[in-house]
Amino acid sequence: MNIWKVLIIGFCCTLGASAQAARIKDIATVEGVRSNQLIGYGLVVGLPGTGESSNAFTEQTFRTMLNNFGIKVPDTVKPKIKDVAPVAVHAELPAFSKPGQTIDVTVSAIGEAKSLRGGTLLQTFLKGVDGQVYALAQGSLVVGGLGAQGADGSKVVINTPTVGRIPNGASVEREVPSSFDQGDTITFDLHRPDFTSAKRLADVVNGLVGPNTAQAIDATSIQVYAPRDPGQRVAYLSTLENLNVDPADEAAKIVVNSRTGTIVIGSQVKLKPAAITHGGLTVTIKENPTVSQPNAFSNGQTAVTPNSSITVQQQNSRMFKLDTGNSLDDLVKAVNMVGVAPGDLMAILEALQQAGAIEGQLEIL
């Protein structure tokens, strides 16, 4: 029996699960196994008067389409094309897609069309980055948006009526070459680069297959020896991707979104000894101008006299102390006890970062 078949059978019998672990397929991808973006330009027809107003490139596209069917439009004739809209068509071609399979496409108006609802996409070539045609798209659009306009110019728009989808609207015509079955190795690429996670993944594979089977190349890539036979390689990879790995803990980080007031604190963030005091000072200035009216027949003029009122209110400041090793959870509890708003907590975090009292990275969006 082939040695790879023996190993694969052994894997299936010895796979275990860990409550905190994640499968390799959930934290990494196989290098070279990826989707490809496709794009094309076409026409949507059959619109109820919500299509394109006449312009040069739309008219040119419309004439070209008719010429393909043997219909010659004189240059002196200006076609009315309110039921036609030029569109961009794009799709994702999954890895290993074969000719004859279908994929979903998204259609977006690129002119002045008001809505694509009720339209049908005519046959459109979808090309890859290399300029080759990989799929053909055609079909009736499903548009989730709605637009309505009154005679006085008022209008209501719900969602986006100028974008639609065609489920299974493109037929794959060409297969993308893949290097999956080439060479003696496969490479796993981690979604989150981390040296510890890369080493642990390699150790898990080596612990099951044997020493030096897997090697961490860097913080992202782990190279694993694999059989060359395509059938054996598929079974081998199916086993490997279901192995469980304990990913490394995330780096200590605090993310602050100053626009929304959102603060996300990582579990690994720790605080050094610090004493924090917080207080608020509110200054209110009110203007109450006084109007001075002259007496009758005095030939005087009405005068406005400024009258300002300034009020200062100061909240009681409260101090709390944090000891070595306190987590950010302790800080949150402390500031909540003294009634600190999220915006003030941002200022406290920035001050702690500047004072070197946070063991972690502060990232402000």
pLDDT of res. 19: 41
Judge if 12 and 54 occupy the same domain.
Answer: no
pLDDT at 333 over 70: no
Query: Which of 172, 205, 234 is the last residue before a domain boundary?
Result: 172
Of 191, 219, 245, which residue is a domain's last? 245
Q: Which of 104, 215, 122 is nearest to 170 (CA)?
A: 104
Poorest-confidence range of 116-130, 291-305, 335-349? 335-349
Q: Residue 41 corresponds to which tokens in the numbers above? A: 């330009």
Domain match, 51 and 164 both: yes
* Residue 115 sits in the same domain as residue 59: yes
d(CA 63, CA 56): 11
Assess whether 117 and 62 both reside in one domain: yes
| Residues 105/90, Cβ–Cβ less than 8 Å | yes
| pLDDT tens-digit readout, 2-19 | 444 434 433 444 444 444
Provide the domain limits for residue 150.
Answer: 36-172
Query: Does 161 share its domain with 61?
Result: yes
Gap between the Cα atoms of 348 and 346, Å rounded: 5
Domain count, the chain: 3
> Are 229 and 322 within one domain?
no
Task: List, for residues 130-151, the tens digit of each pLDDT value.
Answer: 999 999 999 999 988 655 555 5
On the question of pLDDT at 96 being above 80, the answer is: yes
pLDDT of 278 > 60? The answer is: no
* Closest C-alpha to 193, from 218, 157, 169: 218
Per-residue model confidence (pLDDT) at position 8: 41
| 313, two tokens | 């209110």
100 to each of 159, 168, 184, how far by Cα in Å?
A: 33, 11, 31
Greatest mean pLDDT among 72-76, 119-123, 316-320 lies in: 119-123
- Claim to verify: residue 111 and residue 203 sit in the same structural domain: no
For the chain, helix, strand, coil in percent to 5 are 20, 35, 40
pLDDT digits (tens, 9 = 90+) for 42-92: 889 888 887 777 667 777 777 777 777 777 777 777 777 788 888 999 999
Q: In the structure, what pLDDT confidence band is assigned to residue 37 with cuts at 50, 70 and 90?
A: very high
